[in-house]
Structure 1
Amino acid sequence: MNRLLLPFLLLFNMIVLAQSKVGGTVFDEEGEPVAFANVIFKNSTEGTTTDENGNFYLESDNTYEYLEISFMGFNTQDIPLTSKVNYNMKISLSENTEQLKEVIVFGGKQSKKNNPAIDILRKIWAKKRVNGLRKFKQYQYDKYEKVEFDLNTIDSALMKRKIFRGLEFVFKDLDTSRITGKTYLPIFLNETFSKVYGDNIANVEKEDVLGNKNSGFESNQAIIAFIEDLYQDYDVYNNYLKFFDKSFTSPLSRTGIDTYNYILRDSAFIDNKWCYNITYYPRRKNELTFKGDFWVNDTTYAIKNINLEVTKSANINWVKEIYIEQDFEVVSDSVFLLKRDYMLTDFSFKKKEESKGVYGKRTTVYGDYQFDIAKPKEFYKTKSNEFDPLVLNRDSIFWQNSRLESLNKDEKGIYKLLDTLKTVPKFKSFYNIASILGSGYIEIDKWNLDIGDVYSVFGYNDAEGIRLRGGARTYFGQNDPWRLEGYVAYGFMDKKAKHGFSAKWLLDKKSRLIISGGNRRDVEQLGLSLTSTNDVLGRSIASSSVFTVGSNDRLSNINLSTFNLEIEPITNFKVRVGSSLRTISSALPDAFSLDYIDPELPTGISSEVKQFDVNTMIVYTPGKRTIGYGVERRNINDTYSTLLLNYTKGLDGFLESDFNYSKLQFSYSQPWQLGGLGRLYSTVELGKTFGEVPLSLLNVVPGNQTLFTIYNTFPNLDFYEFVTDTYASVHLEHNFNGRIFSRIPLLRKLNLREFVGLRGVWGDLSTENIALNSPTNIMLQAPNDKIYWEYSVGVGNILKFFRIDFNFRGNYLDNPDARPFSVTGEFGFHF
């Protein structure tokens, strides 16, 4: 949600000297728009295809006199271009009766049999593993990337709005996009230069970033993370291309035959290589597909050029356009290597043509390819020093020599423009609003302090009633080596103040050696996770939920102090050793008792636990990507798996600790991208406690009495309905991303998305632990007779914001107050 808000809430200047610009609509003789018609500048390879509504826009740095419109089944039209700029063209195509008599029809579903385009596609599949970099033992090349954001669809009405009063100077120079024909104003530019090395035999690759520069937002980690996550590398030869957490079927995919229509449109010499031109467009609407064309060599069947444009009916939110263009160069007469990759994304709240939004543009240029230069294994294990200030502060001479594609006049102007804008109070106000919505914190620069987070100010529960919370953290920059953070809260029913604070210090950047500690005294809903954590600032949504199902009175008072030492000796392999001292008691003892037998007390019963633990945790997250090198880093992807092994030892007697026990826990979480079928989330958890412990230290199967959909919980279980000291659980949730609904005519236009879930848990509770906790006033039961299970079906993307899940209980229906059915929901911004 936070990343989606940022591109829409910033502002800015640009000129591209295109010599030919055309735009308009293609119709048939009945006045109906012609979708996917071919539009090219005559006697060139520069062209595009019309969208689902017959609209097109095209521009070129060259000057052309004619525009050629073709569509099989219709007569080709040559349209004279009377000026360099020709907009709002209305072009009518007439049917070609000779072609119709030969039953050569283009426009609907194309035959898969005797189709020369598909024959060529099969040869591309056969050759793709021996094309490009794969043909060499080793490779290395230079990589230059620039990412730009622009405010688009600028018109006179927008410029005159009060919101831009005092900022008129930013509109001095405007130009139109060569892809969409809309006016735009640049607001952000980031440049990166790196060298990439790879070894196909050892299957290793590394990228050394030698320079990085951006236009004034280098301290805003949220913006940088958004860009990194948005523009990840992709290979058009793969079956699926991932953008915005969704898998689009590649037109070069082996499943493309069932997804696209293919037409062999033309053939020509390109860079002295004879190539075929194939047009493609989707067979069905509302699926994650492209339209466009590609040129492919007639002997190597390597791609020379490809254009991909996401269809407007694709089930994706907040994105109106995605356009990709890749050019390949010929090396050694037969090897085709990627030379330039261009991607344009039009972010907008609405998909209407006239709606305003933000362009995101990435251009990546590759050069100086070298091959079969072997490097020792140690070379790939070492990385460039990303902490070196020289990387972030390269001079103009470095960039002049490193840019594989020069900045144009207006890209150079972005740096100067933003330096000016930073001095304008109104712009600073706009930026601050965007930052608050994106991060949840109010920045106070003169104090190097952030106030927040603003999303946790209000809460309610049965113990505290209405609850207000305020907090702050130190913030000098995204790479701070240390950070202090804390909050205070007050409950108006119990009339008690609460607090939490933490301190972190990065002792060594290379090994990421971090020392941390803190204290929290608060009211909490424990038992929402089988795998325990020692977060002194965290708070579950169940502890502050305004609306709940049934009585939400099983809350605990917790006083937690922690001290931890953490190290990451290998990338994504983290080891943490720490200790905790906690005191736990019931926040509502009349309704929820944590009493247990204590022979040392005169009454023989204790209602409070004081426990000191030492803990060792190992976390491995292969594939995880982060940015920043300070004490706190930001993740920029969510495609990685997480393996966690946790060992906890409770020490009796130390600091008046009550119990001696051991606890071993393991969890494995993995997202699975199942091609065009969507994404499956899976989690497996195992654990066992050795020794006798009270209820507050046992493993509670996580129920969910809130109205919110919370992954890894059981929405039809009440809090503390099942309690275990030995457990095994599994959670599965699949998001079909609208693949089913897109095939139902009445639901297709709603762009709804389907969810299904299945979860189960088995657990046991020893007779010794049952006896120890016999004074409690709640029933202690473990799902040991049979596996407790639930399933759910859900509908997401309702009005683009909402998701509703219908949850069904599979068994243990005879438990007191068992809930056989529940409805939960979720609100958020999702692509």
Structure 2
Amino acid sequence: MKAKLLLTISLLLSVVAWSQTKVSGRLFDTFNEPVPFANVLFKNSNEGTITDENGRFYLESSTTYSTVIFSFVGYQTKELELGRRTSYDLVITLEEESSQLDEVVLYTGKLSKENNPAIDILRKIWENRRENGVKKFKQYDYDKYEKLEFDLNTIDSALMNSRLFKGIEFVFDYADTSNVTGKTYLPIFINEAIYKVYGDNEMNLEKEVLEGNKNSGFSNNQAMIEFVKELYADYDVYDNYLKFFDKAFTSPLSRTGIDVYNYKLLDSAFRGDKWCYNIIFYPRRKGELTFRGDFWVNDTTWAIKEINMHLNKSANINWVKEVYIEQEFDVLNDSIFLLKRDHFMSDFSFSKKEEARGMYGKRTTLYENHVFDNKKDRSFYKKQVDPYRRETYNRPDEFWEENRMEALNKDERQIYVMLDTLQTVPRFQRLYNIGSVLASGYYELPGFDLGPVFSIFGYNEAEGLRVRAGGRTYFSQNDQWRLEGFLAYGFKDNKFKYGISGKWLLDRESRLIVFGGNRRDVEQTGASLTTSNDVLGRNLASSSLVSVGANDRLTNINLTTFGFQVEPVKDLTFRTTASYRTLKSATDSFSMDYYDENGQIQSEITQPEIELSLTYTPGIRTSGFGVERLIINSGKYPQFFLGYTYGVEGILEGDFEYKKLQTLYTQPWNIGGLGRLYSTVEMGKIFGEVPLGLLSPVPGNQTLFSIYNTFTLLDYYEFVSDTYASIHLEHNFGGRLFSRIGFLRDWNLREVIGFRAIYGQISEANSALNASNIVYQAPEDIYYEYSFGIGNIFKIFRMDFNFRGNYFENEGARSFGVTGSFGFQF
């Protein structure tokens, strides 16, 4: 009896093991040239894929198939009998057809837009495109389940035997194979979240409430989760452009899609209970932000039932080798299609070579339990919910078993076990600490971080070589209070500098924060037009190791601040700051002298101020719920700032009474397939008489770095004003132009153009106060610059060629300059 049971189990396991089919390889023509975008299909099924630009393919099914079919226009269809369930590294050759067969009905050859049935169907989609899904209703709410996962891929014996994994080899017992790429991967992180989503299309409001969150043992993973969410921002395949990775990808359903895609009608069949057409698409040119794949579209509503998209591997995007998107829609009735499942997978890698190792980032989102037209008051959407409820992050297993919309598979369940075990391995902790320093710039100790390590060394004319050591309290990213400080020493002036600040979050719901601090330091004042009293803030101009010309117009500053800020409505912050500062020149070659009311020359300014400000940042995404939050989508959201400052005279020996009004508006713009434009407008005015140290210098740039919102060819204090208006424009085409030039296409370079201008005035009364040794003026004739840049050099460097537009007569005026910047961008 026992032997029979064992035999039965063995047979069942054999059936399960055999009940799947995997094939991979490359497709060539008779000239040994790859055949891109060809069809690969299991015989007698709708399960298939399309070869990539290099003719590579991978196809997997949980069903057993014995034959795979290869076909492409202009070639003879080929069937291959599979001798085993797993067939990797196949090399298939297709022979050209001598003539096209008349009986081919679905598509024949490279059809024009006028006689291509796929284009006719695409036009039907455009004609019937409308607000679909939840947008069809006045109000909606639904449940959302989201699963994020990271996997180390391209696992081989060399990696398993490397010193990196010495002592933690057990992790490879959890490796598996991707059903998209066919690569072996090792899961290293998983996070699950349950949300309740509410929306009102009449008021254009939406609210997302986190009901539960669970992860693989990393308690401080909020930044990682938010970062992945930002990368995989929600998108609508009906939009002309799909926006993620800071890029705008042309959707295959775009009205401009026929200019960048080829479309072919492949099949028609029932998908569920709906008759649908199957259309494949692939890019017309290399280097563009496009996809290859297929979609099924209903024959009456012309709504998408399923769509699969693979990133065009030659697309001008860094660090991403593969992107796979899969969406399924459910039919609510004959006309409403609701998004049911959204799967997004990326293969991050330093190289796009096939054998290069990398990391998969996966996001799977499921939607269910839709309720419509359940109206709620505007106050419901505006009221903030405490985002850090302890019970949300400590839900019992029963909660997840009940609320998961998709059960975890065996590998996903084991991730929790493996990663919880890793936390106890000292070698893993050491590797984790090294990665943490590189990512945050701080070396972590229990309750305290040393750093930032990248600010240890600096140089300027006043201090010479400068060394700095600092740190901050840090128990978790949700700390309600934080202390931070530094100590620095200059080897030229032989002086110590220091700074200390503290802040405390009094109320998490309204984000009421009290803050204060003191700093004695050397600073390049006027490095930006819109100023703030951040007590530990320091700009690059004050400590750049290399500069253009003499960087000697530096100030000794002693700044003390105290204030509070509150966020009564999401993304809207009010701030009140009381400050006291003294300013004095830090070098003998620079003077801030001014005439006092008695006509005597004074060299030091003592000035108390009260500042009121409002900052509005709609769309900002942050991580953490403590006194400090990490901005996830920096550079992607608009910002509006309005500040009013009152200078107090007589109290605390204040020297001047004045009022200052400042405003700033910055906005990033995605210009469809033409890249991204950054724009900033700043305006300000000082009411009252003030000396040089309290005026608004036009921010020059004497470093070799490209710094946005500065004027690259201006020296510090070359222009000074009490009334100003400036505009900064910078457009990155993302390689749209270079990709059309043959010999430049493979370099993946990106074109950047910029324009900067400022108008300013300075009153005669303020000019008369000047007793310094520098001559300055206001840009009353509108000073301007323009630049041309080449980005993505070696994927990390950008070089800008800057040209001065006017004021060539200024002493020492620079008419041309080259600057650069480093950065990791997709």
TM range (shorter): over 0.9
Aligned position for 2:55: 54
The answer on whether the counterparts of 1:517 and 1:561 sit within 8 Å (CA) in structure 2 is: yes
Aligned position for 2:9: none
Aligned equivalents of 2:411, 2:719: Cα separation in 1: 63
The answer on whether the counterparts of 1:324 and 1:341 sit within 8 Å (CA) in structure 2 is: yes
Aligned position for 1:541: 540
Aligned position for 1:814: 809
Aligned equivalents of 1:744, 1:542: Cα separation in 2: 38
Aligned equivalents of 2:105, 2:38: Cα separation in 1: 15
- Which structure 2 residues correspond to residues 380-779 of structure 1 after superposition, within 5 A? 380-382=381-383, 384-445=385-446, 448-588=447-587, 590-599=588-597, 604-637=600-633, 638-773=635-770, 775-779=771-775
CA distances 1:698-733 after superposition (whole Å, capped 9, x unpaired): 000000010000000001100000000000000000
Aligned equivalents of 1:352, 1:184: Cα separation in 2: 17
Unaligned residue ranges in structure 1 (runs of 5+): 1-14
Aligned equivalents of 2:584, 2:361: Cα separation in 1: 52
* Residue aligned with 1:546, SS: coil
Aligned equivalents of 1:550, 1:422: Cα separation in 2: 52
Aligned position for 2:13: none
The answer on whether the counterparts of 1:651 and 1:661 sit within 8 Å (CA) in structure 2 is: yes
The structure-2 alpha-carbon separation of the partners of 1:746 and 1:104, relative to structure 1 and needing over 3 Å to count, comes to farther
CA distances 1:76-104 after superposition (whole Å, capped 9, x unpaired): 22222222211111112122333178999
Aligned position for 2:28: 27
The answer on whether the counterparts of 1:18 and 1:59 sit within 8 Å (CA) in structure 2 is: no
* Residue aligned with 1:721, SS: coil
- Provide the identity percentage: 62
The structure-2 alpha-carbon separation of the partners of 1:437 and 1:18, relative to structure 1 and needing over 3 Å to count, comes to farther
* Residue aligned with 2:758, SS: strand
Per-residue deviation at 1:17?
9.9
Aligned position for 1:276: 277
CA distances 1:419-473 after superposition (whole Å, capped 9, x unpaired): 211111110011001111000000102xx00100011001011111111101110
Aligned equivalents of 2:111, 2:282: Cα separation in 1: 10
Aligned equivalents of 2:351, 2:101: Cα separation in 1: 39
Unaligned residue ranges in structure 2 (runs of 5+): 1-15
Letter in 1 for 2:318: N
The answer on whether the counterparts of 1:225 and 1:635 sit within 8 Å (CA) in structure 2 is: no
Aligned equivalents of 2:505, 2:746: Cα separation in 1: 51
The structure-2 alpha-carbon separation of the partners of 1:16 and 1:340, relative to structure 1 and needing over 3 Å to count, comes to farther
* Residue aligned with 2:190, SS: strand
Aligned equivalents of 1:106, 1:553: Cα separation in 2: 72
Question: How many aligned residue pairs are there?
Answer: 810
The answer on whether the counterparts of 2:107 and 2:117 sit within 8 Å (CA) in structure 1 is: no
The structure-2 alpha-carbon separation of the partners of 1:692 and 1:382, relative to structure 1 and needing over 3 Å to count, comes to closer
Letter in 1 for 2:685: K
Aligned position for 2:778: 782
Letter in 2 for 1:203: N
Letter in 1 for 2:77: T
Letter in 1 for 2:608: F
Q: Calculate the aligned-residue CA RMSD, in Å.
A: 1.8
Letter in 2 for 1:449: F
* Residue aligned with 2:122, SS: helix
The answer on whether the counterparts of 2:18 and 2:85 sit within 8 Å (CA) in structure 1 is: no
The answer on whether the counterparts of 1:312 and 1:320 sit within 8 Å (CA) in structure 2 is: yes
- Which structure 2 residues correspond to residues 328-339 of structure 1 after superposition, within 5 A? 328-339=329-340
Aligned equivalents of 1:16, 1:804: Cα separation in 2: 55
Per-residue deviation at 1:198?
2.1
- Which structure 2 residues correspond to residues 35-50 of structure 1 after superposition, within 5 A? 35-50=36-51
Per-residue deviation at 1:130?
4.5
Aligned equivalents of 2:714, 2:269: Cα separation in 1: 66
Letter in 2 for 1:396: D
Per-residue deviation at 1:107?
11
1:305 aligns with 2:306: yes
Per-residue deviation at 1:547?
1.0
TM-score, length-scaled by structure 2: 0.96
The answer on whether the counterparts of 2:74 and 2:109 sit within 8 Å (CA) in structure 1 is: no
Aligned position for 1:4: none
The structure-2 alpha-carbon separation of the partners of 1:707 and 1:16, relative to structure 1 and needing over 3 Å to count, comes to farther
Aligned equivalents of 2:74, 2:505: Cα separation in 1: 68
Letter in 2 for 1:35: P
The structure-2 alpha-carbon separation of the partners of 1:729 and 1:107, relative to structure 1 and needing over 3 Å to count, comes to farther
Aligned position for 1:117: 118
TM-score, length-scaled by structure 1: 0.95
* Residue aligned with 2:432, SS: helix
Aligned equivalents of 2:17, 2:137: Cα separation in 1: 38
Aligned equivalents of 1:247, 1:195: Cα separation in 2: 29
2:794 corresponds, among 789, 796, 799, to 799
Aligned equivalents of 1:157, 1:212: Cα separation in 2: 36
The answer on whether the counterparts of 1:705 and 1:719 sit within 8 Å (CA) in structure 2 is: yes
Per-residue deviation at 1:383?
5.2
The structure-2 alpha-carbon separation of the partners of 1:472 and 1:17, relative to structure 1 and needing over 3 Å to count, comes to farther
The structure-2 alpha-carbon separation of the partners of 1:766 and 1:385, relative to structure 1 and needing over 3 Å to count, comes to closer
* Residue aligned with 1:401, SS: helix
The answer on whether the counterparts of 2:144 and 2:366 sit within 8 Å (CA) in structure 1 is: yes
Structure 1 window deviating more from structure 2 (95-104 vs 715-724): it is: 95-104
Aligned equivalents of 2:706, 2:158: Cα separation in 1: 42
Aligned equivalents of 2:801, 2:291: Cα separation in 1: 33
The structure-2 alpha-carbon separation of the partners of 1:27 and 1:43, relative to structure 1 and needing over 3 Å to count, comes to same
Aligned equivalents of 1:645, 1:16: Cα separation in 2: 66
Aligned position for 1:7: none
* Residue aligned with 1:426, SS: helix
Aligned equivalents of 1:409, 1:208: Cα separation in 2: 29
* Residue aligned with 1:97, SS: coil
CA distances 1:258-283 after superposition (whole Å, capped 9, x unpaired): 11111111111111211111111111
The structure-2 alpha-carbon separation of the partners of 1:35 and 1:460, relative to structure 1 and needing over 3 Å to count, comes to same
Letter in 2 for 1:569: P
Letter in 2 for 1:440: G
CA distances 1:343-392 after superposition (whole Å, capped 9, x unpaired): 11001111000010111011111112233333343333345542221111
The answer on whether the counterparts of 1:687 and 1:727 sit within 8 Å (CA) in structure 2 is: yes
The answer on whether the counterparts of 1:73 and 1:100 sit within 8 Å (CA) in structure 2 is: no
CA distances 1:615-648 after superposition (whole Å, capped 9, x unpaired): 0000011111222211011122232111100000
Aligned equivalents of 1:259, 1:530: Cα separation in 2: 43
Letter in 2 for 1:179: V
Aligned equivalents of 1:708, 1:271: Cα separation in 2: 58
1:823 corresponds, among 803, 818, 821, to 818
Aligned equivalents of 1:238, 1:457: Cα separation in 2: 47
The answer on whether the counterparts of 2:620 and 2:631 sit within 8 Å (CA) in structure 1 is: yes
Per-residue deviation at 1:290?
0.7
Per-residue deviation at 1:489?
0.5
Aligned equivalents of 1:185, 1:40: Cα separation in 2: 28
Aligned equivalents of 2:109, 2:802: Cα separation in 1: 41
1:370 aligns with 2:371: yes
The structure-2 alpha-carbon separation of the partners of 1:17 and 1:152, relative to structure 1 and needing over 3 Å to count, comes to farther
The structure-2 alpha-carbon separation of the partners of 1:798 and 1:278, relative to structure 1 and needing over 3 Å to count, comes to same
Per-residue deviation at 1:221?
4.5
The structure-2 alpha-carbon separation of the partners of 1:691 and 1:529, relative to structure 1 and needing over 3 Å to count, comes to same
Aligned equivalents of 1:498, 1:465: Cα separation in 2: 13
The structure-2 alpha-carbon separation of the partners of 1:67 and 1:822, relative to structure 1 and needing over 3 Å to count, comes to same
The answer on whether the counterparts of 1:221 and 1:634 sit within 8 Å (CA) in structure 2 is: no
Aligned position for 2:4: none
- Which structure 2 residues correspond to residues 178-217 of structure 1 after superposition, within 5 A? 178-217=179-218
The answer on whether the counterparts of 2:107 and 2:116 sit within 8 Å (CA) in structure 1 is: no
* Residue aligned with 1:172, SS: helix
The structure-2 alpha-carbon separation of the partners of 1:104 and 1:791, relative to structure 1 and needing over 3 Å to count, comes to farther
Aligned equivalents of 2:441, 2:774: Cα separation in 1: 39
